[in-house]
Structures are given as C-alpha cells and as structure tokens.
Amino acid sequence: MNLDNLNKWTTVITNIAVVAGIIFLGYELNQNNENLEAQSRFNYRDGRAQGNLQNAHDPIFSAIMVKSVNGDELTQTELFQLDAYFRYMFVNWEWAFDEAQRGRGGLGPESVGGVFATFPQAVETWSRARYSYNEAFQNFIENEVLPSLEL
C-alpha cells in the first residue's frame, strides 16, 4: 500500500508541475507578444521618421517637394520621384489603417489629409495607384479623407 500511495502522490506532484509549466509558458508567450507588438510600433514610427529624415538630408528631393507645393512645373524625373515617395507613404498608411481596424493604433483623416492638401501630386498619385491598396483603405481615403479637404 505504501508504494501505491507514493505513486499516487508522485503522479499528483508531476501533474501540478506540468500545469505550472504550462502557465509559465503562457505567461512567457504573452510577454513575447507584447514585445513583438512594441517592436512593430517602433518600426512603423521609425519608418515614418526616416521618411522625414530623408527630406532633411536630401536637398535635391526637398527642392522637388518645394516645387510641388509652389505649383512649379516638375520634370518627368521629379514627377517619378514624387510618385514613388507618395506610394511609399500610402503603403505605410494602409498598414496603419489596417492596424487601427484591429484596435491597435489610430489613423484618422486628419493624420493623412494634410499631405493631400499640401501636395497636389499626392492626389494625382492616389488616383493612379488607388487600386493597389485594399478596398477598405481605398474607401477610407476616398470617402473620409479627400472629401474633407478643399482641393
């Protein structure tokens, strides 16, 4: 009988240890998810900051942006550069919009509207590239952002 009781207690202790290990594993996975989400938010913000930093460090591209704002005529090369830049921005906005739909972060019309209001080329690029983005993001830009601007 003593050996039978010892086996039962050993089984109980082993089961408790397994449950504790599973709880600890769940806790570690949750911490890892929080770290990954924080890293993702940092990468997004860093990407946005890098775009601004590019303008600060590239006087040629900055001059193109100023020409666009002033309504000056742009060369084909300059138009191509602005087009690529705005498409890069749209991809970032689409990601931020998708994250906002999942309840992580926010992207409202005021967050992106200023770019469309300031740069006529952004509106032109959007009209050509809009079908490259998901339908919900298209609707957001076309039904909430663009109508709120005085273009």
Is 142 in contact with 109 (CB distance < 8 Å)? no
> Model pTM?
0.69
Q: Closest by alpha carbon to 108, among 117, 119, 116, 96?
A: 96
In this structure, the number of other CB atoms found within 10 A of the CB of residue 125 comes to 21
**pLDDT digit string (tens) for 73-127?**
999 999 999 999 999 889 989 988 888 888 777 777 888 888 899 888 999 999 9
Place of tokens 């002033």: 70
pLDDT tens profile 37-52: 777 777 766 766 676 6
